[in-house]
Amino acid sequence: MATAATDRTAAPEPAPHVLVLPYPAQGHTIPLLDLATLLASRGGVRLTVVATPATAPLLAAHGDAVGELVLPFPSHPAFPAGVESAKGLSPALFGALIVAYAGLRAPLGDWALERSGGPDRVAAILSDFFCGWRQPLAAELGVSRIAFSPSAVYGTAVLHSLFRRMPQREDGDDESPIGFPDLPGAPAYPWRQLTLLYRTYRDGDEVSEGVRRNFLWNLEASSFVSNTFRRLEERYLAAPLADLGFRRLRAIGPLAPDAADAASGRGGETAVSAADLCAWLDGFADDDGSVVYISFGSMAVLQPPHAAALAAALERTGVPFVWAVGTAAPLQEGFEERVASAAATTGRRRGKGRVVRGWAPQVSALRHRAVGWFVTHCGWNSVLEASAAGVPMLAWPMTADQFVNTRLLVEEAGAAVPVSWGGIQAAPEAEVVARVLEAAAGGQCAHVAARAKELAEEAAATVSDGGASRQELDELVRELRELGSEPKE
């Protein structure tokens, strides 16, 4: 006779519940949402993405693949009221944003603890590396925390190395070299090229200490997941890095969609539709690769001397271009009208230059066959989108991790040509920028363009079935599935 226990059909155990916390900056939120969507598509895990009212609209492009938890943005005396993201934010406030955003810890902890005894208990936390405060929360909940890096492994290690070792410059010299002895090749950078987050550190200051604590907490995470791929950063993926706490690191990138997916609203509303921009680029169909696409990202506002040098170089060379300038670019009066009406001299029906004021459909532009070069600040999202599209870069780093990314691209990957190493502090002369544009447009950098095409092939292979990044993603899914939904003993 069967017992009551064997007669009863056991209810299936709910899939493990993963809490996902992006950082409120375009270059951080977008790739983590891409990763969350990929994880959800594999099945066997449930994901809830945390957002604030200003960042919640970004989840719309990801449909019903993930759940959402919208919490009020926390207030902090060091951060301006009414601001909820890094978009257009002064670099001087980046540290304050990290510290202010950590105010979500208490309400998020309450939310998670209310569910700790049931099927919706949080089994793991996947959070951006600017949200290191999730580490003590994960410890409180007794769950694993995976730190997500939207940056290069190289750049992520440099950033954490600074706050781990706290190196100092000599005699206040901005050119004083700062070395990174625990990284392959022991690279060094002049002080002025280090991230402002570190250069503005003040001992005992609440914001400074909060930023440092953020990165030290990351070194206690169970593992890192990085939006990169092995062939681009093989040197830094060969062995665990001291500057990342010797933690397991999964390279699962590039998290760069194809042009069709990008046109669906990923990244929020654009100032021009992908269809409109691509129709304009179609006017160059008889001259593939002739157009230069220009963007310095969603956060930075190009300084007037830099904008003036670039605008003068574009007019001087006559190179066809699309320039996504943002909403506050200091362009010379009449520049837009002059370049838009240049059809008479170039023979182009649609004019030779187009200025986009606001967010542009960058992936769609880079995937268009008319675009042959990309003038970029070398933010990592832009680097990966260009690499996946096979577009060589004209690198013009300004701040943050951009100098590290540029050196990786120029000296190791061979897929970029430097425009200027002066950063925000020193704009190049227009003649210098013009020479770089002319060399690229004139075919003098063909070896760089060829290497960019190779990177695109490698990027496509690594995210295909059997590729290294696809394998790492599948292993991450298996790891999350095995967490189960029952509390740990």
> What are φ and ψ of residue 47, in 5° steps?
-125, 135
Q: Which one is catalytic: 17, 34, 128, 377?
A: 128
| Torsion angle (degrees, nearest 10) of CA 98, 147, 24, 310 | 90
Q: How far from chain centre, in Å, is Cα 29?
A: 8
Q: Which one is catalytic: 17, 28, 76, 306?
A: 28
Residue 50, both tokens: 């945390």
**How far apart are alpha carbons 242 and 234 in whole angstroms?**
16
| Torsion angle (degrees, nearest 10) of CA 367, 371, 372, 374 | -80
Amino acid at 71: L
Which one, of 166, 191, 158, 175, lies nearest residue 408 by Cα?
A: 158
Print the SS3 string covering the chain: CCCHHHHCCCCCCCCCEEEEECCCCHHHHHHHHHHHHHHHHHCCCEEEEEECCCCHHHHHHHCCCCEEEECCCCCCCCCCCCCCCCCCCCHHHHHHHHHHHHHHHHHHHHHHHHCCCCCCCEEEEEEECCCCCHHHHHHHHCCEEEEEECCCHHHHHHHHHHHHHCCCCCCCCCCCEEECCCCCCCCEEEHHHCCHHHHCCCCCCHHHHHHHHHHHHHCCCCEEEECCCHHHHHHHHCCCCHHHCCCEEEECCCCCCCHHHHCCCCCCCCCCCHHHHHHHHHHHCCCCCCEEEEECCCCCCCCHHHHHHHHHHHHHHCCCEEEECCCCCCCCCCHHHHHHCCHHHHCCCCCCEEEECCCCCHHHHHCCCCEEEEEECCCHHHHHHHHHHCCCEEECCCCCCHHHHHHHHHHHHCCEEECCCCCCCCCCCHHHHHHHHHHHHCCCCHHHHHHHHHHHHHHHHHCCCCCHHHHHHHHHHHHHHCCCCCCCC
Whether 28 sits among the annotated catalytic residues: the reply is yes
Whether 286 sits among the annotated catalytic residues: the reply is no
**How far apart are alpha carbons 159 and 161 in whole angstroms?**
5
Query: In which residue are the tokens 């001299």 written?
Result: 345
**How far apart are alpha carbons 264 and 285 in whole angstroms?**
24
Catalytic residue set: 28, 128
